[in-house]
Chains A and B, each alone.
Chain A
Amino acid sequence: MSRRTQYLLFALWVILLASTPLWASNYVVRLAVTIAMFTALTLSWNFIGGFTGYPSFSTAAFFGLGCYAGALSERAGVPMLLAWGIATLVVGAFAAALGAIILRLKGHYFAIGSIGVVEVVRLVISSWGSLTGGGDGLNLPLLAGGPNVVARIFLAVMLAIMIVTFLITVVVDRSRLGFGLRCIQQNEDAANMAGVNVTLYKVIAFTLSALFCGTIGAAYASWTGYIDPSDSFSILMSIKVPVMCLLGGPGTILGPVIGTAAFTLLEEVFWANFLDYNRAILGVVIVILIFFLPGGLLGLSYRDAMARIGGMFGRTKAAA
């Protein structure tokens, strides 16, 4: 798929999501907010997991930290938008400092280390009761207007963050940074030898993967009006985001967008039809998809698939 087609599809997708309040029920609008939010998270993860090839499971740590940084700022009297900005910077700085340490690990070790980060941050937040309210969580001032108005406001907010992460992805993809990250993904030692400052590039990618998770976390906290540690630092989020990216096509521009859309819609279908076993069915579907689509939906060669199907028919005819 050419780059221009990918940009066009993305634009159409944004228009479709943005127009949901005009033609769909509130349930669908809320679904559109969730899709926009997860698309932005997946596009963020794509910097470290897709371009650079480091399997990070830290998304929930960045998201949760963003929730708390935003909530605490708002409770201290900072205006909402500024609080989101503070959350973004706090999470970015946290990721840069953490990345300098944790990115020394590779492969499975990095994956386990990045999961550990989620747990450590969650434990610190839930134990530091005097500041964070501990297990009781924190309440935030609710936005004026009914739930419908609020849902529309946050649809706009999440779409804006999603568009920004997409634009950054486009810029990174075409730049020196993206080239260097792809080199690291394929052979880190060779990249180092070719003159890529691998440590710096990895830390930049890790920070980019965290930055907007912070904004999204803070916006999510403002949206729901209440946060607690187990909701903010959900390990399921850390797993869902990489799976969405892998499903769509890691290291591509549109892959994370397609993957998130496909995954969320599958989840909806199974949730609606198999209330008891939906997670189990989803798990099986994920395993199958990853086995048979190693490059994601975008990596699929539709021409090859058609040729194979055509070949099957050709053979039956010959046999007859």
Chain B
Amino acid sequence: MTILVAERVSRNFGGIRAIDDLSFALKEGEIVALIGPNGAGKTTLVNLLTGVLRPSSGHIRFEGQDVTAQRPFEAARRGLARTFQIVQPFPKMTVLENVAAAALFGGKQESVAAAMAMAREQLEFTGLTQFSERSAAALTLAGRKRLELAKSMAMNPKVLMLDEVNAGLNGSEIDGALRLIRQIADRGVTILVIEHLMKVVLSLAQRVLVLHHGQLIAEGSANEIVRNPRVIEAYLGEKFARRFTAEAAHG
């Protein structure tokens, strides 16, 4: 069953078409990767899906409902959660309060006390319990990325969009993050991962969408995608793509 659908969505910034007539659908419970070169429009697409930006044309549907004109806080309350490429904590609050804020408002908890309880649960889940009373600004980058995950999980999301949660992490930190993402998926949350790291894409995604100049140029399994000449061209340029295909043909 499809849960989130984009129908012919476009978004212009002045004369630039950041997203150009793009359509896709996410099925409930799947992990989909969204890849593309820098400036392809990945973050813009997430911003469109979560109400930060409004499409210039086209529609977005969530659970059958038209949510094209939603505002970010409405998206959060509906269960469309996201993490930020550039982490966005409440710097002067403790780690616990950061997650409690998400639980209270996005997760629609009844009271501050209930939100705190929910937050403790998510800190446990993401392995941040020992830092719960520290200020969010004092966390390491890996810790802050985890905090982003904990915050979005506290919102009881149905769809979770992870905008480069692994960027800037080292190998073992990435492995930890991957384990977490799999566990979240096991809970039935639909996940859209935006990634540069092919290791992450190959090991997680059941399906890959490739974005280039705001258009979807390819869609398929990870293994199909890495052999697709259009994808190689988008990443490495036309000349290299020709050579690469020629070499592949010669074995």
Interface residues of chain A, those whose CB is within 8 Å of chain B, are 174-176, 179-180, 182-183, 186-187, 189-198
Contact = CB atoms under 8 A, between A and B. Distances in A.
A154 to B, nearest CB: 38
A195 B76 contact: yes
Contact of B91 (A179, A187, A192, A197): A187
Given A179-B101, A186-B91, A195 B112 contact: no
3 tightest Cβ-Cβ pairs between the two chains A and B:
A195-B106, A195-B105, A195-B76
17 contacts: A174-B112, A176-B112, A180-B104, A183-B90, A183-B101, A187-B89, A187-B91, A190-B89, A192-B73, A193-B50, A193-B73, A193-B82, A193-B84, A193-B88, A194-B73, A194-B155, A195-B107
B160 interface: no
Given A186-B93, A187-B90, A189-B88, A194 B112 contact: no
A186 B90 contact: yes
A195 B73 CA distance: 4
Contacts of B76: 192-195
Given A193-B52, A195-B107, 14 more contacts: A176-B111, A179-B101, A183-B93, A187-B90, A190-B90, A191-B90, A191-B101, A192-B73, A193-B73, A193-B84, A194-B155, A195-B76, A195-B108, A195-B155
Contacts of B73: 192-198
> Which interface class (under 10, 10 to 19, 20 to 34, 35 or more) fits B?
20 to 34
Contacts of A175: 112
A200 B128 CA distance: 32
Interface in B104-135: 104-108, 111-112
Interface string B18-55: 00000000000000000000000000000000101000
Most buried by A among B73, B89, B111: B73
A192 to B, nearest CB: 4
Contacts of A190: 84, 88-90
A271 B179 CA distance: 67
A187 B112 contact: no
B58 interface: no
Contacts of A183: 90, 93, 101, 105
Contact of A179 (B82, B108, B112): B112
B72 interface: yes
A190 B106 CA distance: 11
B48 to A, nearest CB: 14
Interface of B: 50, 52, 71-73, 76-77, 82, 84, 88-93, 100-102, 104-108, 111-112, 151, 155
Contacts of A193: 50, 52, 72-73, 76, 82, 84, 88, 106
Contact of A186 (B92, B105, B108): B92
B93 A194 contact: no
B101 A194 contact: yes
Contacts of B107: 195
Contacts of B105: 176, 180, 183, 191, 194-196
B102 A194 contact: yes
A191 B89 CA distance: 9
Contacts of A194: 73, 76, 101-102, 105-106, 151, 155
A154 B101 CA distance: 42
B102 A195 contact: yes
